């Protein structure tokens, strides 16, 4: 009897500790505020049963879009155990034109990006000795602002071995580096041991256009340097119209890719922001397509959905997917959704998600939920997505700048 009692006590202790751990975890990661559209419902897809219970206290609240009703609420585990207090804001859903069309992306960096440092001769790398690392961004040389790799190479080659003062950015902090180039017998010029990059181009997918402001969003992830995986500092950039001409089918361990041709040299939009949630800017000409409401992240649920993407030409098609997981962590700015392609046609043609589909809108119940961002290398039928609400958060800096102007 004593052993049975101890066993029951041990089980009770384990359950209690597990519940305490779950409460602590959700208290830390779940947001304090949930935006809900007029006809929407709060959905919290979690490992345990989490419910948002209204306290029926309603006050006026000013949101980024309009005046809305704010309800005091409480998040409960299994609908019983209190986790934390929260607020539910009932707001009008923003209307956006969903994309799905391919876009060519051209980006020039602010300064030049260091891809890697290398030895010039006898094991010596002047750049490394000066403290410059891969991923750094060189803003100026001897006080001259840089906008091309060719100009920096010219400055180094004409230095005659004299010290050059670099202004360098690393993780948003600047510092000064003093580099003394050395003569390369192999190349016959002075070199600093730098491999640098000042631009990039590629194909992605447009996510949305705001018909009121002309602001667009695309990709759902930043444009990064392919070698250092560092977000490229934006100097200037543009999106152009593209026609998809072919693709490589994705296979396990080998992601596929879309191929496209830039239609013309005319920009269809100007890139003004390159950040974790994607690229954003202003379109050159307005969209004539119909806008649809967004789904706030608290309304996104697991289950059937669709994506808009283009695998041939320039006209988007709608394909069936399944939302397998939703992550509401307030710290997660991207990779909020896990989707699985279920559409037989898309699976047959591309194997699922391929590179170039980043930015493809995710639709659920007639609303714009988010965008495809990544493909699982181990399983091309599955990938990550970002909440459209998180992408819109990134555009606030653009609208704030407009207001300031």
Q: Which residues of 115-147 are buried (b: 16+ CB within 10 A; e: fewer)?
A: bbbeebeeeebbbbebebebbbbbbbbeeeebb
In the set 110, 358, 360, 374, the catalytic residue is 358
In the set 248, 343, 365, 379, the catalytic residue is 343
Alpha helices in 70-199 (DSSP H): 126-129, 149-157
Catalytic, 358? Answer yes
Burial of 186 (0-12, 13-18, 19+ CB in 10 A): exposed
Within 10 Å of residue 397's Cβ, how many Cβ atoms? Answer: 13
Considering only CA atoms, which of 216, 230, 201 is closest in space to residue 273?
216
CB 71 within 8 A of CB 17: no
Within 10 Å of residue 27's Cβ, how many Cβ atoms? Answer: 13
Cα gap 85→13, rounded to integer Å: 26
CB 284 within 8 A of CB 301: no
Q: Which helix (H) or strand (E) holds 7?
A: helix 2-29
Catalytic, 90? Answer no
* Coil, strand or helix at 170: strand
In the set 90, 110, 221, 374, the catalytic residue is 221
Token output for 241: 């119209």
CB 217 within 8 A of CB 395: yes
Helices first, then strands: H and E counts in the chain: 5, 24
**In sequence order, which residues have a C-beta less than 8 Å from that of residue 148 and are 6 or more positions away?**
112, 198
Considering only CA atoms, which of 279, 283, 248, 250 is closest in space to residue 267?
283
Catalytic, 221? Answer yes
Sole residue written with tokens 């992601």? 255
Q: Which residues are catalytic?
A: 221, 343, 358
């Amino acid at each position: 009897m004593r052993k049975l009692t101890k066993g029951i006590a041990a089980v009770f202790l384990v359950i209690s500790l597990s519940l305490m751990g779950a409460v602590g975890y959700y208290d830390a990661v779940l947001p304090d505020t949930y935006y809900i559209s007029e006809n929407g419902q709060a959905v919290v897809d979690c490992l345990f049963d989490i419910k948002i219970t209204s306290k029926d206290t309603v006050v006026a609240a000013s949101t980024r879009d309009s005046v809305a009703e704010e309800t005091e609420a409480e998040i409960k585990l299994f609908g019983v155990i209190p986790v934390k207090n929260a607020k539910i804001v009932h707001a009008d859903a923003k209307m956006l034109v969903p994309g799905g069309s391919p876009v060519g992306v051209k980006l020039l960096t602010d300064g030049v990006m260091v891809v890697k440092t290398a030895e010039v001769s006898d094991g010596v790398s002047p750049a490394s000795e000066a403290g410059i690392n891969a991923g750094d961004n060189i803003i100026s040389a001897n006080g001259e602002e840089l906008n091309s790799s060719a100009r920096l190479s010219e400055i180094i080659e004409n230095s005659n071995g004299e010290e050059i003062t670099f202004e360098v950015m690393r993780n948003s902090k600047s510092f000064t580096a003093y580099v003394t180039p050395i003569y390369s017998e192999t190349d016959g010029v002075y070199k600093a041991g730098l491999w640098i990059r000042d631009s990039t181009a590629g194909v992605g997918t447009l996510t949305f256009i705001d018909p009121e402001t002309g602001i667009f969003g695309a990709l759902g992830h930043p444009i990064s340097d392919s070698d250092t995986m560092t977000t490229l500092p934006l100097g200037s950039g543009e999106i152009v119209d593209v026609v998809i001409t072919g693709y490589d089918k994705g296979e396990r361990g080998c992601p596929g890719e879309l191929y496209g041709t830039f239609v013309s040299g005319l920009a269809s939009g100007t890139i003004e922001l390159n950040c974790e949630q994607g690229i954003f800017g202003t379109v050159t000409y307005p969209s004539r397509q119909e806008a649809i409401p967004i789904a706030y992240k608290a309304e996104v649920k697991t289950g059937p959905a669709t994506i808009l993407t283009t695998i041939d030409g320039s006209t988007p098609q709608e394909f069936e997917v399944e939302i397998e997981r939703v992550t509401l962590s307030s710290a997660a700015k991207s990779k909020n959704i896990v989707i699985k392609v279920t559409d037989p046609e898309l699976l047959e043609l591309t194997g699922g998600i391929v590179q170039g589909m980043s930015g493809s809108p995710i639709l659920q119940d007639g609303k714009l939920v988010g965008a495809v961002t990544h493909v699982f290398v181990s399983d091309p039928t599955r990938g990550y997505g970002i909440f459209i609400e998180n992408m819109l958060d990134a555009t606030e800096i653009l609208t704030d700048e407009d207001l300031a102007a």
